[in-house]
Structure 1
Amino acid sequence: MGGPLLSRRDFLALGSAAALLPGVAFAAAPTGTKLHGLSAFGDLKYPADFKQFDYVNADAPKGGTFIFSPPNWVFNQSPLTFNTLNTFVAKGDAPPRMEMCFDTLMASALDEPDALYGLVAEGVTISDDRNTFEFSLRSEARFHDGTPLTAEDVAHSFQLYKQDGHPDLLLPLSQMIEAVAVDAHTFRLSFSGKQSPRTILNVAGFPIASKAYFEANPFTSVGMKAPLGSGPYRVGRIVAGQTIEYDRVEDYWARDLPVNRGLYNFDRIRIEFYRDRQAGFEAFKKGNVLFRQEFTARVWVTGYDFPALKEGKVVKREFPAERRPSMQATAINQRRERFRDPRVRRAMALCFDFEWTKRNIFYNSYERSQSCFERSDYRAEGKPSPEELALLEPLRGKIPDEAFGEAIIQPVSDGSGRDRKLLGAAAKLLAEAGWKRNGQFVQNAKGEPLTVELLVDDDDWIRIHSPWTENMKAIGIDASIRVVDSAQYTARQVDFDFDLISMALSFTATPSRDDIENLFHSRAATLPGSRNFPGTADPAIDALVEAAGKAQSRQELTIALRALDRVLRARLDWIPNWYLPNHRAAFWDMFGYKEPKPDFGFPVEAMWWFDKDKATAIGKA
């Protein structure tokens, strides 16, 4: 259920934790020499004179229209509606893929876990202290109005983001001390020395905005005027809240660069917004939407029997998921005092019967998530290693004792939907935490009932969460589900105005401190629009986040994230939900694509192309 929010590199950077790889740390990258690419660990796959990425079809034809409802999004974007075209700030709901309208200093390779290659920047030079990065910009870079994209635009963008940007942009720049244009084609970015060694891999993928545009228009304003862009697409036709079209820029200045060759093939990308999942599915069945990733197990199993599929006009298949850590969980908002006792959080978690849900609602298609870094080597297993203990022992007494034992696993129910043993244990935990029965519900010493409201923005969540709330009621919790529209959901999420809220998120392949800080660090707990939904503000967690950020090798990073995972699972700020090992996709058979898909990304709208012969064969030319 639900599409994942992307972590910050860019939407192309859909990758995951690979197994431990040999190679040198980022700190060993040469200094004082212009580099054509950057990576966190190990050597770059592609040499300076590479022509294209291996996973693209450089001869892919241009043309056609790709119509879909995005399965993932970044920043302040929403898949349900939109009321602004400013995607750089926390306020408002922007449409997904606005980032395709903006170029970046460097672009990700989807067949490497963390590599970046030059886009606007033809190269980057690292200072001897590794705190300053000087980017040499291409003189041919242009905005869509034909004006040059210069170092002034880059510097101004970074300055705006650090001051007023969306938390995904703001937090990674917290240690930025200088963003300056040395000259028209040289941009210098300097950090304090307290940043993660891998921060540069995040910020080099930030969108570049026009200085002239935002000097004439307030950066923090939200409206339906599209900021001036420079990327492969520009905003075309829009119907506010319903439809947006991105038109391919015919004279896009960077279309022949190696990082772009074979990409961005559709003349038009149209996003249709449906607040109701079933309405979106019906539009797909009619051919009004051409590509769909299915997040409802019931529909995947029982709904794909319509005429177009039976006639072979629609393809239904699964693609391998990215090799990247993912997290799908329900946050318990500890800004509210009644949720601060871990016994209360554990009692609530015991009421969720995943085994019953998997069989009766998910058609056995999902697996139970246990970790904040699921499907990766960063997931803690068994007892802590000596290397993990070296990080955990200084925190003893400040973190749950359970973090020093076997990694916490959510208990397996009997699958009945009302496991008496688990519900009994949950009721006991509430009593130990001072919540006593008084009639139907429990109360604290002040006579206040224990109320819990799950905030959702889709009716399908009612079907999934109703058994959970009924179990909570059975042990005396006054639990309910509140369905709100997308705009209200976003506003309440930004302001942390909820009891429980669920989130699906994918990390970058090599998470930096910036990636995890937004979710777990105390710095994000009070920052509106951050992903720290539980309000986690714990110096011990901060210390582990910092340790991960300072890792100089993939092995060090893995150790630090496993230690962090142990503590997060013991705290239970997030109740783990479930995960799917593959992409469930269906599409009208009118597209070309290269197989196998790259290990670290699945941006169909960027990689696929319109196949006129296939379209003609199914009557969609």
Structure 2
Amino acid sequence: MATRRDFLAFGGAAAAAALLPRKAFATTATGVRLHGLSAFGDLKYKPDFTHFDYVNPDAPKGGHMNFAPPNATLNQSFLTFNTLNSLVLKGDSPPRTELCFDSLMTSALDEPDAVYGLLAESVTLSADRNGFRFILRPQARFNDGSPLTAEDVVFALKLYKEKGHPNLSQALRYMTDAVAVDPMTVDLSFNGKQSAQNILAVVNMPIVSKPFYAANTFDASTLTPPLGSGPYKMGRVVAGQTVEYERVADYWGRDLAVNRGVNNFDRIRIDFYLDRQAAFEAFKKGDTHFREEFTARVWATGYDFPALIGGKVVKREFPGEKTPDMQAVALNQRRPQFQDIRVRRAIANCFDFEWIQRVLFFGSYERSQSNFERSDYKAEGLPSPGELALLEPFRAELPPETFGEAVMQPASDGSGHDRKLLGGASRLLAEAGWKRSGSFVLNDKGERLKVELLAEDDGLVRIFTPWAENMKAIGIDASIRQVDSTQYERRQSDFDFDFNMLHWSIGATPTVDSLEMLYSSRMAKTPGQRNYPGTESPAIDALIVAAGKAGSRNELVTALRALDRVLRARLDWIPSWYLANHRVAYWDMFGFPDQKPDFGFPVETLWWFDKGKAAKIGKA
């Protein structure tokens, strides 16, 4: 791996200039108290704002939502849970434990990279922009009534840096110190290598109680509810089956501008089902009240049950977020058979999206070509001069396709067995040294080319089956292994797979930490990270550095488009498909704002219980 110093030594002058360090928050005032931070440009909301524009500030409190969460973070699982501790790598925790904790600042969902004070009423940047002083709100409390102080903030961040989930610890590696100046003042110091976006990740981290973890082991896998300070606390818990979050009636932060109009339900319940059909049946019966549908067949043919026909259930689409969307397959290059790009291209040729789109997807998905779909970061056409300046120093390392039109995945004839594409795949395997012998291709040692496709549910098995059949047709010994959720997560974390799919969103303003987690050489050997292909590339590492040093959004776009070109040319990830909108169904017992925010869709915090609607459908 080339270090940044190595790169600047042999890179061209234009590329070196692009990567010279810039001061984080170069346009943000220093030495004055700020109510919010943004990596680029001005904040939308002024210091005296009363609520975010995308909420209903008068939303009523009360009622309940039985909720099927469409996304998760850290070690959270959709299918089961065996711990309530989501802050470490060990175990499977339920989604939405984050509702129990507050953070120094919180994101605005109608801005791509803005945060505003939550626990912190203000933040001040040091003159060198590597220090941040936070003044805490004196009313901040944990849910047992104990004060939340600077000592808790310092304790939490240092604890995450040492023992936290890799997503937390990696974001804190630039932090050199955290000091409690007094009970209400925290100073955070950084080493100058951090990007402007790095602090945005740090200030969103949950703050835990120092006294609580003096009496409880932090990194334990445990069903003991954690002590939080957030708008919700743990209620009823049935291990592996049900978790309920109860609204804290006397929550200390309920009247803050950032909290007005949100966290409206008295109770949020999540039930866990081992397969999608069981979860769908629970929704049809009304045991679950909100569901986002990810199975095209069910969306097209399954919503004909009595409650929907009778008007008790609403089926509709909401606009997707303006954030990069990535759904792609990783071939694990830690295994030698996948290190040759010709093998990866041959396997990609076996994916007949057009047939799957027609037969299995009912025409509802789009073919993904990029790890940054739905965003300005997706490369198009020929590289711009700015992109070329970043790419040229690595011309010898990179595939020639990097410097031409952005690589596109081949379209099939939709037959499910495109002879032209499969013939091309066979030639690629032969060029890579895999010769046909009977039903299989063999290397010079007489070993078969084997690919095991890892899946955790029937839906993926159904999609992977035609892909595997096409692999078999060109002599690959392809098989599908379906495992339970716990084993699936473990095998992902340990990089114990051949072929694995990931759906991921890295935010409207991707941070260096999120990019490194997926693509950097350093993460190829770090368990629990998402560099599933095992990518190790000096060019990719340098482009991540360039993104981190971007001093404007235009510079960030240039760096990420260059990165997209490299990823697509190397085929570290095989892009699959994406959905432009949210497909949701819900029992007609909720109110919600007229305008959905551009950068998030947290229905469990933005929606509210409508007593009148609920009474009409018998759900009051």
Q: What is the TM-score normalised by the length of structure 1?
A: 0.95
Deviations 1:150-180 (A, max 9, x none): 1111111111111121121111111111122
User: Any runs of at least 4 consecutive aligned residues in structure 1 with deviations exceeding 6 A, and if so which?
Assistant: none
1:559-574 alignment runs, 5 A limit: 559-574=558-573
User: 2 CA distance for matches of 1:164 and 1:577?
Assistant: 35
Name the counterpart of 1:324: 323
Name the counterpart of 1:36: 35
Shift of residue 373, structure 1, vs aligned partner: 0.5
Name the counterpart of 1:506: 505
Deviations 1:244-268 (A, max 9, x none): 0000001100011000011000000
Name the counterpart of 1:361: 360
In the alignment, structure 1 residue 120 sits paired with structure 2 residue 93: no
Moved more, 228-237 or 433-442: 433-442
Name the counterpart of 1:133: 132
Amino acid at match of 2:242: T
Amino acid at match of 2:167: D
1:100-499 alignment runs, 5 A limit: 100-499=99-498
Tell me, what secondary structure is at the counterpart of 2:539? helix
Deviations 1:402-449 (A, max 9, x none): 110110000000000000010011111111111111221111111211
Deviations 1:428-487 (A, max 9, x none): 111111111122111111121111111111011111110000000111111111111111
Tell me, what secondary structure is at the counterpart of 2:364? coil
Tell me, what secondary structure is at the counterpart of 1:149? coil
User: 2 CA distance for matches of 1:166 and 1:401?
Assistant: 38
Amino acid at match of 1:246: Y
User: 2 CA distance for matches of 1:408 and 1:229?
Assistant: 47
Shift of residue 609, structure 1, vs aligned partner: 0.3
User: 1 CA distance for matches of 2:138 and 2:573?
Assistant: 47
Residue 109 of structure 2 contacts residue 600 of structure 2 at CA under 8 Å; is this kept in 1?
yes
Name the counterpart of 1:97: 96
User: 1 CA distance for matches of 2:171 and 2:26?
Assistant: 18
User: 2 CA distance for matches of 1:142 and 1:167?
Assistant: 27
Deviations 1:495-542 (A, max 9, x none): 111111111111211112112111001121111110111111211110
Shift of residue 215, structure 1, vs aligned partner: 2.2
Name the counterpart of 2:59: 60
Name the counterpart of 1:49: 48
User: 2 CA distance for matches of 1:531 and 1:343?
Assistant: 23
Name the counterpart of 1:18: none
Residue 90 of structure 1 contacts residue 528 of structure 1 at CA under 8 Å; is this kept in 2?
no
Tell me, what secondary structure is at the counterpart of 2:26? helix
Name the counterpart of 1:19: none
User: 2 CA distance for matches of 1:393 and 1:456?
Assistant: 39
Residue 31 of structure 2 contacts residue 124 of structure 2 at CA under 8 Å; is this kept in 1?
yes
Deviations 1:361-407 (A, max 9, x none): 00000000000100000000011001100100111102211110110
Shift of residue 40, structure 1, vs aligned partner: 1.4
Moved more, 242-251 or 168-177: 168-177
Tell me, what secondary structure is at the counterpart of 1:180? strand
User: 1 CA distance for matches of 2:175 and 2:475?
Assistant: 49
Residue 92 of structure 1 contacts residue 490 of structure 1 at CA under 8 Å; is this kept in 2?
no
Amino acid at match of 2:147: P
Ranges in structure 2 where 5+ consecutive residues have no aligned partner: 1-22
Shift of residue 222, structure 1, vs aligned partner: 0.7
Residue 511 of structure 2 contacts residue 548 of structure 2 at CA under 8 Å; is this kept in 1?
yes
User: 2 CA distance for matches of 1:530 and 1:25?
Assistant: 26
Residue 237 of structure 1 contacts residue 244 of structure 1 at CA under 8 Å; is this kept in 2?
yes
Shift of residue 557, structure 1, vs aligned partner: 0.1
Amino acid at match of 2:51: Q
User: 1 CA distance for matches of 2:555 and 2:433?
Assistant: 42
Name the counterpart of 1:611: 610
Residue 441 of structure 2 contacts residue 476 of structure 2 at CA under 8 Å; is this kept in 1?
yes
Deviations 1:252-307 (A, max 9, x none): 00011000011000000000111211111111010000000000011111111111
Shift of residue 126, structure 1, vs aligned partner: 0.5
Moved more, 539-548 or 432-441: 432-441
1:572-591 alignment runs, 5 A limit: 572-591=571-590
Name the counterpart of 2:528: 529
Deviations 1:110-163 (A, max 9, x none): 111111000000010001111111111111111111111111111111111111
Q: 1:536 to 1:161 in 2, by over 3 A?
A: same
User: 2 CA distance for matches of 1:25 and 1:171?
Assistant: 18
Shift of residue 189, structure 1, vs aligned partner: 1.1
Shift of residue 218, structure 1, vs aligned partner: 1.9
Tell me, what secondary structure is at the counterpart of 2:397? coil
Name the counterpart of 2:592: 593
User: 2 CA distance for matches of 1:260 and 1:217?
Assistant: 30
User: 1 CA distance for matches of 2:93 and 2:187?
Assistant: 30
Residue 367 of structure 1 contacts residue 578 of structure 1 at CA under 8 Å; is this kept in 2?
yes
Shift of residue 190, structure 1, vs aligned partner: 1.1
User: 2 CA distance for matches of 1:155 and 1:399?
Assistant: 43
Tell me, what secondary structure is at the counterpart of 2:487? helix
Residue 548 of structure 1 contacts residue 560 of structure 1 at CA under 8 Å; is this kept in 2?
yes
User: 1 CA distance for matches of 2:102 and 2:577?
Assistant: 35
Shift of residue 26, structure 1, vs aligned partner: 3.0
Amino acid at match of 2:458: D
Tell me, what secondary structure is at the counterpart of 1:364? coil
How many residue pairs end up in the alignment? 598
Name the counterpart of 1:5: none
Residue 161 of structure 2 contacts residue 168 of structure 2 at CA under 8 Å; is this kept in 1?
yes
Tell me, what secondary structure is at the counterpart of 1:104? coil
Amino acid at match of 1:443: L
- Work out the percentage of aligned pairs sharing the same amino acid: 68
Residue 25 of structure 1 contacts residue 42 of structure 1 at CA under 8 Å; is this kept in 2?
no
Shift of residue 217, structure 1, vs aligned partner: 1.9
Q: 1:25 to 1:225 in 2, by over 3 A?
A: closer
Amino acid at match of 2:41: G
User: 2 CA distance for matches of 1:25 and 1:48?
Assistant: 22
Amino acid at match of 2:421: L
Tell me, what secondary structure is at the counterpart of 1:315? strand
Amino acid at match of 1:299: V
User: 1 CA distance for matches of 2:599 and 2:209?
Assistant: 30
Shift of residue 25, structure 1, vs aligned partner: 8.4
Name the counterpart of 2:19: none
User: 1 CA distance for matches of 2:103 and 2:76?
Assistant: 18
User: 2 CA distance for matches of 1:267 and 1:424?
Assistant: 59
Tell me, what secondary structure is at the counterpart of 2:122? strand
User: 2 CA distance for matches of 1:457 and 1:472?
Assistant: 20
Moved more, 238-247 or 176-185: 176-185
Residue 442 of structure 1 contacts residue 449 of structure 1 at CA under 8 Å; is this kept in 2?
yes
User: 2 CA distance for matches of 1:38 and 1:517?
Assistant: 23
Moved more, 466-475 or 530-539: 530-539
User: 1 CA distance for matches of 2:105 and 2:549?
Assistant: 23
Amino acid at match of 1:305: D
Tell me, what secondary structure is at the counterpart of 2:139? coil
User: 1 CA distance for matches of 2:180 and 2:335?
Assistant: 45
Amino acid at match of 1:96: P
User: 2 CA distance for matches of 1:534 and 1:91?
Assistant: 22
Deviations 1:203-242 (A, max 9, x none): 1101111111222222211111122111000111011111
